[in-house]
Structure 1
Amino acid sequence: MRSSGAEFGSICIRTQLFSAGASLSWGDVGELHLIAVRQGGLSLVSPIGGRALRAGEAVLSLAEVFCEADARTGAEVVTISGPGELARDVRSTLSACAPQALSAGSALLAPSLAFALRAAQTPEATRSRLGDYYVERLLQEMLQGLLADTSRVERTPRPLKDPFRQAVSVLAAQFTDPDLASAGVAEAVNLSRRQLEREFSRRGTTIRRELRRIRVERAVKMLRDPDYALLTVGQVARHVGFSGASSLARAMAQEGYDSPSKLRGSGPTPRGAEGVAIPNAP
């Protein structure tokens, strides 16, 4: 077997050439894997099911997957792997079934694979940390788009043990979308908007407030990171979902931070703002 690839933060891209009849296993349980066959054929087996793939077909899986290349042709396989949190809103569906096939008419699969392969072929000497960050974000969103496209037909509404945490996970995954609104978040967790607003109210907060907090924490991290020093405050603001520099400044003041200009060059991010904190349930 021959293998090549690249990593962009939490995303790993691999191209693998299997000789006829060769076998391999993929993945840590809980990671999200896109497995696509470019040439030949592949048989996939998970602990609870299997699937045969031909050239041009692909699956998504959260389970550990064992595979065997076609005994006559071998296989060329592309995998894109990322953290399982990207699939949190449909995670139980993926965990409870065999690798899930992408719909044959998916308009996202071919462009996603083409982008991933081109990114993986970029010489490391020409890459930058800022560029790698944006590639990682794009690949994360592509995986989520493929998952949503696949699960649209197969997923059925189900009761949620903690819709508040589910909703915060959706906010954390999609906060860069300037059009993200309460109705879309509610739909993602299979609740009405009013039901979801009550869940947030029980925790003493609102959907809008949590979205603002998540966006501000990401902006603060970027403003304090010298790798993003070439970005203007307005560019940082738009990247995290605000309309511009003034709206970011207002949101930062509401969250108790200094102005963006004061934060620039003030050192490492404090208070654990490296990631998104989910408030504790009462």
Structure 2
Amino acid sequence: MHAEISRITARDVLELRLTADEEDTGAGLALVRSESEGDAVPVTDVEREGRLVRARLADLALEDGTWDVVSVGRSGSSNPVLTRDSGLSLSHRVDYVRRPRTRDLRAIRDPRGRLRLVSASVTPHAEVEWVEVAPGTVTVSGFLAYAPERDGVATGEVVARQRGLDGVVTAPARLDGDRFECAIPLPPLATAFQPRRKHNEWDLWLRLPDAGTELRLASHADDVVGKKGKVVYAGVDLAGGDADTTVRVRPYYTVRDEFSLLATARSGGSA
């Protein structure tokens, strides 16, 4: 089976558009763990319409890991499903992660052109889409990922916690449906700077107004991993709690692509 388009919809449906020269043999579909030997998981809810194949995966019990998509003939023989589609589509990923779910499925193409699915357990987070650094604030906006659906306008707050220390700074956050925006004040972070630690990291959570649920700020929807070594934001120099200390505060990504703020001292009180 050869597909020119292969993608997972927001409702966990694997959609395949077969190539024009592909003959419909009526083969079934199954998923086989890529990392180890094991029984195939048959995909029983499959709908065909011309060259379009829709396989509903929402009810399948899939462990975390990578799964090969295979076609199964009437004789029971199986062959890998091949695809020309890289599986990269930011708009589709954003639509996908904005729905409440505990499992994330992604369609990928391996170096040999075989179609695979990556299954991963997920928890809700606050997906950062936009960051703006100003002299006294860092404004962050985005949307709730994997979280229950919300309606209407409400006020939550962003909570900044000084990693390994006692500092806590909060700021109001505007919620409109599943979208959020917040301007985080930087002077309190500079004032709370503890010079005994070279780096003062401030980790950020979005606290929702209902039941105080907190979601970590992070950027995962674009599938770009390792942002810590790829994305660099400008810093802001502010007066520290010690009159002789200037503190630079800047946004950064952690090794887990979570969004935080970093405060460091600039010696001599100069910029």
Fold shared per TM-score above 0.5: no
TM-score, normalization by structure 1: 0.29
TM-score, normalization by structure 2: 0.30
**Structure number, greater radius of gyration:** 2
Compare the two structures and name the one with the higher helix fraction.
1
